[in-house]
Structure 1
Amino acid sequence: MGLIMTPNRLLNSNRWLSFLESTAQGFQLNMTVTSPQSNFYFKTSKICSRCKTEYPDLTLADIRRAQDKMSNLEEFVTNNGSTCIIVEIPGEIIIFALDCPHCLSNNQLILREKAEIASKILSDFLNSLLEGAIGGERAVELSALRQMNQIVLNFFQGQDNAVSYAFNLVLSALVILLDAKGSWLEYQDGDCEVLLIKGEEQAVRQAVKSKGFLKVEAPLQTGSKIGSLGILEPNNQQRAQSLLPLMAQECTIVFEIQRLFELVQAQFANVLGSLRSGVVLINKNKAIIYVNNSFAKLINKPVKDILNMPISDIHAPWISYITEESKLNEAGHMDFWHNDERDYWLNWQICPIFDKEDFSGWILLVDDESDNHQLQVTVRQAERLGVTATMVGALAHELRNPLSAAKGLVQLLARKQDPVKVRGYSDLILKELDRVTGLLNEFLLLGKPSTISSQPLNLTSLLNELLPLLEGEALHYNTKITADFHEVSPIDGDSGQLTQVTLNLVRNAIQAAGDNGKVTVKLKQIGDWVELSIEDNGPGIPPHKESQIFDPFFSTKPHGTGLGLSVVQTIANNHGGKIKVSNLPQGGAAFAVCLPISKRTSTTIVDIALIMANEYRRFPLEQMLRQTGYTVLTIEDIEDHEQEQLIKYRPRLVILPVSTSKAEVIVKNIWPTAQLLIIEQSQTFGEGDRELTYENLDFLYILKETRNMLKYKK
Structure 2
Amino acid sequence: MGSLARVKKYWESKRWTSFLESTAAGLQLNLTLIIQYGNDFSRSFHHPPYCPACRTPIADINLPDIIISIKSQNEIVELDINGAKLVVAPLGGDPCHGNLYVVAGELTCCKKAAHPTLLERAVLAQKLLTSFRHALNEGFEGGRLSLQLSALRQVKNIVLSLFNGEENILAQVFDLILSALIILSDAQGSWIEYGTAEVSGGLLIKGDEQRVKNHIASHAGHADTAEISNGENRVRLGVFAPADGKQTQDLLNLMAQECTLVLEIDHLFKLLHKQLPMILGAVGSAVVLVSKDGIITYVNHAAELLLGGKAPNLIGEPADAAPGPWSACIQEKTSRRVSGHMDNLIQKQELRWVNWQVSPLLDDEQIAGWLVLVDDRTDHHNWQEAARRAERLAVTAALAGSLAHELRNPLGAAKGMLQLIGRKEKPEQVKGYADLILREIDRVTNLLNEFLLLGRPAEMTTEPLDLAAFLQEITPLLKSEANNYEADIFIKTEEIPMINADPGQFTQAVLNLVRNALDAAGRRGRVLLNLSKSGNNVILTIKDNGPGLSAKVSGNLFKPFFTTKERGTGLGLPVAQAIVHNHGGNITIENAPGGGAICQVTLPFYARQDGKTTDIDVLVTVADNLLRYPSEQALRTAGFSVISAADLSEALLLKERYCPAVLIADKIISEPQNIEIISRTWPQAKTFAIAEDEHFHEHFIEANVFQIVTKPLDYVRLIGQVRKALNEI
Q: TM-score over 0.5 for the alignment? A: no
> Could you state the TM-score of these two structures normalised by the residue count of structure 2?
0.43
Larger Rg: 2
> Could you state the TM-score of these two structures normalised by the residue count of structure 1?
0.43
Higher relative CO (CA 8 A, sep ≥ 6), structure 1 or 2?
1
